[in-house]
Structure 1
Amino acid sequence: MKITHSEARASVTPSSDYFTGHVRQDPLNAAEVPGRSRIISVTFEPGARTAWHTHPLGQTLVITSGAGLVQTWDGPIRRVRSGDVVWFPAGEKHWHGAGPDTAMTHIAIQEELDGRTADWMEKVSHEQYGGEIKND
């Protein structure tokens, strides 16, 4: 067993190459080999979001507070709220982040393959981010 106490973890500001707006990452766990899971709490201030990206083994998001937006490349923008869980299959191009007027925090769970957990692409444009939202 290994316990990592909260005070031993430091918050990180991720690269602006992969994010738009104010974002904070709080690493929660990185499994030791042969494990592959990486778990991060990510907080997006209003309007903040990821760039388009994929994950080699998929990604699960657990929305823990606030409200945000998610979108796959060929799909509509979808609203997510605290308590929602989102699954992106391996290789599915997507983005996620806060709503324009609300902050959002989620726990991101993904697995590492060949040293990477994500493949980053172009940033989400203001036009893409501001598109029509599908209400479920």
Structure 2
Amino acid sequence: MVTAGRGWYQEWGKPARELKAGDVVNIPSEVKHWHGAAKDSAFQHLAIEVPGEETSNEWCEPVDSAAYDALP
């Protein structure tokens, strides 16, 4: 849930989605994605994780600079 600022969310192979305060994103398990601030804004959010058994979080490669710079 975005609490302040403006940012972006993008699932692997899909277009980026702009986020603003009040927006909620449900991210199913096993979905490769990134999220972060817009170039001209701070970005604040709450992340709620559902407990599971034998689960882990995997940090992938950084967002490609060219793809980020192409966002409006």
So what's the TM-score if we normalise by structure 2? 0.86
Please name the residue that 2:63 is paired with: 124
Deviation at 1:128, TM superposition (A): 2.0
Q: CA RMSD in A?
A: 1.5
- 2:20 aligned with 1:96: no
Q: Distance in 1 between matches of 2:25 and 2:55?
A: 24
Q: After superposition, give the CA deviation of every residue in 1:62-83 in whole Å (9 maximum; x if it has no partner).
A: 0001110110111111100000
Please name the residue that 1:105 is paired with: 44
Q: Any runs of at least 4 consecutive aligned residues in structure 1 with deviations exceeding 6 A, and if so which?
A: none
Contact 1:77 1:131 (C-alpha < 8 Å) held by counterparts:
no
Equivalent pairs counted in the alignment come to 71
Q: Which has the higher contact order (CA 8 A, sep 6+)?
A: 2
Deviation at 1:112, TM superposition (A): 4.2
For residue 106 of structure 1, what is the amino acid of its counterpart?
Answer: H
Gaps of 5+ in 1: 1-61
Gaps of 5+ in 2: none
Identity %: 38
So what's the TM-score if we normalise by structure 1? 0.48
